[in-house]
Structure 1
């Protein structure tokens, strides 16, 4: 692995200053500047797209909940680990994404690994986008269903595979926003195909929830399907076979994930997903922190507006300025494709020496030959910090 430049190394990361120690003129450091292996760095590596992981209201909610509930859930949700905080969180999540019911999982990876086998099994068929996240891939393998992989966002190939399948139950699985490319799946077209071919659709909106939609509702609102007000009047398709999943450790800034959809479908998942049934629940303090975060997502639209502005600043600043390919993306994820593994590590190292942290992403996370810098923007970043990133990349190119 080392010879192929594929060896991963952990880094010790902590905020430069605790949130309560930041002075008024240091607010730009909140959620953007860290000590990485003891060295101060401006970070463009996290998924904290709205800067909520360091928000005082979210921190205070966790502290108050710890005083009330303690710091552990003590058992699985189906034993005694489901608190009033968890119950309220699920109701608020369902309301935000405009679907009837939601179910909270302690982790996004666990949610998908449990979800897929709960929906299909041996003799059934799964249709999976080639760039799906590892947790969807692993969930598909654990289900023992027949797996058909189609080219990235290739609706024609998917339609053909669905038409040729004789499986009794069919499940299409896809990221809504692809984590390493920033591309967005065509959810209306996928729903239409599933309706035509009597299939189910599972979408993983890990990187769209909180970022897409007028109120951060995610990919469904982005496509005009469902919003905080419920299913959009213009949408004429069916949603009873849609399973919507999103994580809460990215734009929401805390931890966990949730599944939402038709009440009977969510009930089935609760009864069948082994990663829900047999794992200790997340602490109630996490649920209360998320309730604060969900409220901020829904009401502070300026965060998404500022994020979009930073994205345009970055793309304009890098156009023709560096020799690498900044792939198209309308999300917070901006992939700067370098190519060779060694070259990506060299560019990452050059940025690091200039005080900027951007992680190099290599196979198997991305296809061979497409090693890249995965630039993650956050509404916590300032225009000056994005300018610093652009200047560091131009200098690295030299």
Structure 2
């Protein structure tokens, strides 16, 4: 065997010994597992109006966009979706990407100029971390949710262009960033604030417009919002939203926009339908909040260490990576899918299982799933 393949085998063996092997588990369309692992918070991926809108566009446009957004990939559903997202988020313009990951890479890069200081929360998603790395800015990682540390980092670099990078609701523990305080600090130092609203969009704020809107920061000229369209909106893709000059710059220079095939028109049409449902989805949001609170009560009563969710993410501590893997596997064997987070995916070295509330799951199945999680706990 070639040396490089042998090296890969050795690395795989080390990961297996540490309990860090990952596996793909294909599921069928008729899968009956109770899904508390995916991110379809509001159950819209299968909503009849969403599926119908996607089907109509699929018939009209075909399977793919056939090219990048600047060639032939921009269709009427793309334009309508961007207009609807901008209106919903209260910003001048929004730009749709084929994934939230690519949107974050583009947004960070667009805000960096020579000498820019990037101040990144320690719990930020991998896409934000990678965006900071490839941007060629100077990166300083601050302790999770620590506004004083951000203030100190900005104060130590007077006169330098700076961008503070954070999630709104964090993907690991589901907690909410102190956005209003962060924005006050950013504005005082003349910096910018970049917020990944992926896990808040659709769930909090006026009409579900996300964490930035909930903090009263919608449309502020020194705030840029990114998000994925694959969570509460039940589809795929990502967005960058903010002042019109930023969107113009991304269209002209954003490499992950220019050189990537566009989001399929059928997906854009389905997400547009989901956006309309979400803006009018107060009942869905109330049900999600009720289920999240019920889950915390049930799991805490069983003696488990549980995060306090700001949206639909609930983190439950596991004794270690192998225990987390076994816990998730035991739940799946009993018909309940939960997430499994372990190093190096966790920023603090702790292992967890992660529940994501899905109001599309019948309530009786959701309650039963909580019992299964407790019964399978290590």
TM-score band w.r.t. shorter chain? over 0.9
Counterpart in 2 of 1:54?
46
Contact 1:73 1:283 in 2 (8 A): yes
Tell me, in whole angstroms, the C-alpha distance in 1 between the residues paired with 2:144 and 2:27.
34
Aligned-pair CA distance for 1:166: 4.4
Q: CA deviation at 1:214?
A: 3.5
Q: TM-score, normalised by structure 1?
A: 0.88
| TM-score, scaled to structure 2 | 0.93
Distance 2:206 2:358 in 1: 17
Is contact 1:341–1:369 with CA below 8 Å preserved after alignment?
A: no
2:230 to 249, 253, 257: 249
2:333 counterpart of 1:353? yes
* Residue number among 148, 165, 170 corresponding to 2:162 in the alignment: 170
Q: Distance in 2 between matches of 1:122 and 1:283?
A: 35
Look up the match of 1:147.
139
Tell me by how many angstroms 1:208 deviates.
Answer: 0.5
Mark the runs of 5 or more structure 1 residues left unpaired by the alignment: 17-33, 35-39, 232-238
SS in 2 for 1:245: strand
- C-alpha distance in structure 2 between counterparts of 1:393 and 1:188, whole Å: 35
How many Å separate the matches in 2 of 1:361 and 1:327?
Answer: 14
- Map Cα deviations across residues 176-204 of structure 1 (whole Å, 9 max, x no partner): 11001101111111111111111111100
Secondary structure, aligned partner of 2:355: strand
Q: Which moved more, 1:380-389 or 1:182-191?
A: 380-389
Instruction: Report the count of equivalent residues.
Output: 364
1:50 counterpart SS class = coil
* Aligned equivalent of 2:369: 389
Normalized per residue, the structure richer in helix is: 2
| Equivalence map 1:268-347=2 (5 Å) | 268-322=249-303, 324-347=304-327
> For residues 246-266 of structure 1, what are the alpha-carbon distances to aligned partners after superposition, in whole Å with 9 as ceiling and x for unaligned?
110111001101111111122
Q: Which residue is equivalent to 1:362?
A: 342
Residue 202 of structure 1 pairs with residue 194 of structure 2:
yes
Partner of 2:80: 88
Deviation track 1:126-169 (CA, whole Å, cap 9, x = no partner) reads: 00001100000001010111100000010001100001014631
Q: What is the deviation of 1:397?
A: 3.6
In the TM superposition, residue 395 of structure 1 has moved relative to its aligned partner by 1.7
Contact 1:124–1:167 (CA<8 Å) still a contact in 2? no
| Other structure's SS at 1:53 match | helix
CA RMSD of aligned residues (A): 1.5
Poorly superposed stretches of 4+, deviation over 3 Å = none
Corresponding position of 1:375:
355
